[in-house]
Amino acid sequence: MGGIDRIIRIIVAAVIGVLFYMNIIQGTLAYVLLAVGGIFALTSFVSFCPLYALVGLNTCKVKK
């Protein structure tokens, strides 16, 4: 997973967390988005996305 992809995932996870904390999102939608945000945060910290591996996508630049 590339650096830009990781940064975007962390930002999205943080925004979801803030929206939940401020009660802007509520109910089932809030819990679904929290789960997605948690997955985004986890995959960005470990630099691996199982879905990317499944479909063969690679956003990491190759060093020459």
How many domains, in total, are found in the chain?
1
Question: Which residues form the domain of 40?
Answer: 3-55
**Is 47 domain-assigned?**
yes
With respect to residue 20, please indicate whether it lies within any of the assigned structural domains.
Answer: yes
In a domain, 61, yes or no: no
- 7 assigned to some structural domain: yes
In a domain, 32, yes or no: yes
pLDDT one digit per residue (tens) for the chain, 64 residues: 778 888 998 999 999 999 999 999 999 999 999 999 999 999 888 877 776 767 776 766 766 6
| 62 is a domain residue | no
pLDDT for residue 35: 95
What is the DSSP code (8-state) at residue 26? Answer: -
Q: What are phi and psi of 35, to 5 degrees?
A: -65, -45
- Within-domain flag for 63: no
Q: What is the pLDDT of residue 37?
A: 95
